[in-house]
Amino acid sequence: MRRVLLTGFTPFGGEAVNPSWQAVRLVAQNAPEDYEVAVSELPCDFESSLPELRTAIERHRPELVVCAGQAGGRAAVTPERIAVNLQDARIPDNAGRQPVDVPVVPDGPVGYFSTLPVKACAAAIAAEGLPAEVSHTAGTFVCNHVFYGLMHLLATELPDVRGGFVHVPFSPEQAGQRHPSLPVEECARALDVLVRTALTTQTDLPVPAGTLH
């Protein structure tokens, strides 16, 4: 069985739930037949999130790591393409920290590309009737912090492990009438499709997925 680690986050910003963790946990509860999945809930905390991620990777020794986060306001599941070496927090994290213009890894590269086939993943999710598109920014909060930290770890210590990050929209209970949303069950379906695509696709689709602004 191919081993996969999925992570989600604790709630933050005054929310009672985080659909990234709800969806990740649901994937594990559904017990996929063709891959083994381990899950970990990461704190929305600049200081402790990456040590928690490293611990989970060391414990489970996956061949694929997919970290998920909440992107309130987005209407689609969005595999992220680029992690940047920047922390610039508009709000404090759950520990009250609010770094501004600080690198994730001092002297690290400016950025890393995901090693997931992000275009193929988005296309496969959309083919299942679920909203999906490639994103070129994971922001500059804890999600990007974890994405960059993951890719730096894989690049410098675990080159045989593939990994990346995906954002999911608000759940309906969070969004109300104010924001787009997607049921957690559909987010979990999308994550399962993303994992299966990543496990079976080495070369990404040569199709446009860029933006004009």
- The helix or strand, by DSSP H or E, that contains position 167, with its residue range, turns out to be strand 162-168
What's the rounded Cα separation, in Å, for the pair 176 and 171? 9
Angle, alpha carbons 198-104-39 (nearest 5°) = 40
Confirm whether 187 is a catalytic residue.
Answer: no
What's the rounded Cα separation, in Å, for the pair 103 and 88? 9
- DSSP strand pairing (78-79 vs 162-168): antiparallel
Please, are residues 138 and 80 in contact by the beta-carbon 8 Å criterion?
A: yes
Residue type, 49: S
Q: Of these residues, 67, 80, 133, 152, which one is catalytic?
A: 80
What's the rounded Cα separation, in Å, for the pair 197 and 125? 9
Confirm whether 167 is a catalytic residue.
Answer: yes
Confirm whether 121 is a catalytic residue.
Answer: no
Q: Of these residues, 44, 152, 167, 187, which one is catalytic?
A: 167
How many other CB atoms are there within 10 angstroms of residue 106's CB atom? 7
Cα 152–chain centre separation: 15
Q: Per residue in 15-36, is it b (16+ CB within 10 Å) or e — as a string?
A: beebbbbbbbbbbeeeeeeebe
Nearest to 66 by CA among 94, 45, 40, 105: 40
Q: Of these residues, 143, 145, 152, 187, which one is catalytic?
A: 143
Residues with a catalytic annotation lie at: 80, 143, 167
